[in-house]
Amino acid sequence: MIFDILIHGFEWASIYILIAAGFSLIFSASKIINLAQGEFVMLGGLVGFSLYSLHLPVPLVPFLSAVVVAFTGIATERVAICPARRASPTSLIIITIALSIILRSSAALIWGPYSFRIPGFSTAFPFKAVSGVVDPDYLLIIVVCFVSISLIGLFLKKTRLGRSIRACSMDAIGARIMGVSPEKMRALSFFISAGLGGLVGVLIAPVFYASSDLGLNLGIKGFCAAVLGGMGSIPGAVAGGIIIGLSEAVGASFASSYRDIIAPVLMLVVLYVKPKGIVGGRD
């Protein structure tokens, strides 16, 4: 039972970590809380199903889905966020809520109110380990999360573009004086964050199915993880995702009906004690 809790806990944690990282990247570059991040996850699953239906090589489906959704993210930023760059933070949040509704409704119009499943990406059979059977798709999600977060960390610390995003998060005016365009960094953050969301969506499609409603609940959980760990902090996204994922796994083992309230309750409790989150995010 403990082994099953850990496997499912880290699987859910991996999903929340990648979604929370998307929230934090955009917030770091632009101070925008993108409440449409969950819809990028939804699009990833549905686009992945469509690509799979075209009989493309299965290993290419996650990569192509992430790319398609990444360009969707930068398109939404150019169309909806860029013209309102001088708007107040509250107005920008309202814009992202409108984006979420538009993306969800558009997906329902294109794919219909149906759920779709992509066959597992791993060709290996589930194998016995300790006390249960491990689905390779669960392990794939965990491994992809670890690799993706590691690459994002290296990108932010070791590359010029990554350091430019960090500079904008610290001092946008100072970064502009040094020749860094906050607008371009914001667009880049939307591109990367949407790509992460699309990758999550297609990877979980074999486990949770893809539908136009997929992103709503996951987006809320990812937002809670980002806030709990510290909005704007990638280590905070990791910490928040792990705490919520493992807490939900433990809670679901006793009463699954209470699972969905765990994330917001944990977020509120932490915010009462540490308003900037566990790790401490950006202002």
Cβ(16)–Cβ(222) below 8 Å: yes
**Cα–Cα distance, 157 to 26 (Å, whole number):** 16
The pLDDT, as a whole number, for residue 250 is 87
pLDDT tens-place string over residues 198-213: 999 999 988 888 899 8
User: Has residue 182 got a pLDDT over 50?
Assistant: yes
Q: Which residue has the higher pLDDT, 214 or 259?
A: 214
pTM: 0.91
Q: For the CA atoms of 20, 24, 69, 39, what is the dihedral angle to 10 degrees? A: 50
Task: Count how many Cα atoms sit within 13 Å of the Cα of residue 206 in the half-sphere of its side chain.
Answer: 18
CA atoms within 13 A on the CB side of 92: 17
pLDDT of amino acid 65: 94
Q: What is the per-residue pLDDT for 208?
A: 82
Lowest mean pLDDT among 9-18, 33-42, 129-138: 129-138
Q: Kindly list the domain boundaries of the chain, sorted by start residue.
A: 15-212
Strand partners, 127: 134
Q: Give the tens place of pLDDT for each residue, 81-134.
A: 888 877 888 888 999 999 999 999 999 999 988 888 888 776 544 545 545 556
Which of 266, 220, 272 shows the shortest CA–CA distance to 243?
266
pLDDT of residue 69: 96
* 153 contacts: CB under 8 Å, gap ≥ 6: 234
- Averaged pLDDT, 131-147: 79
User: Helices 214-229 and 37-53 meet at what angle, rounded to 10?
Assistant: 140
**Across the chain, how many H-helices and E-strands are there?**
11, 2
State the pLDDT at residue 50. 93
pLDDT at site 279: 82
Per-residue pLDDT, 281: 59
Confidence bin at 283 (pLDDT 50/70/90): low
pLDDT (tens digit per residue) in 157-176? 888 888 888 888 777 778 88
- 63-85 pLDDT, tens digit per residue, is 999 999 999 999 999 998 888 87
The mean-pLDDT minimum among 28-32, 95-99, 235-239 falls in 28-32
Beta strands in 39-153 (DSSP E): 127-129, 132-134
pLDDT of residue 40: 96
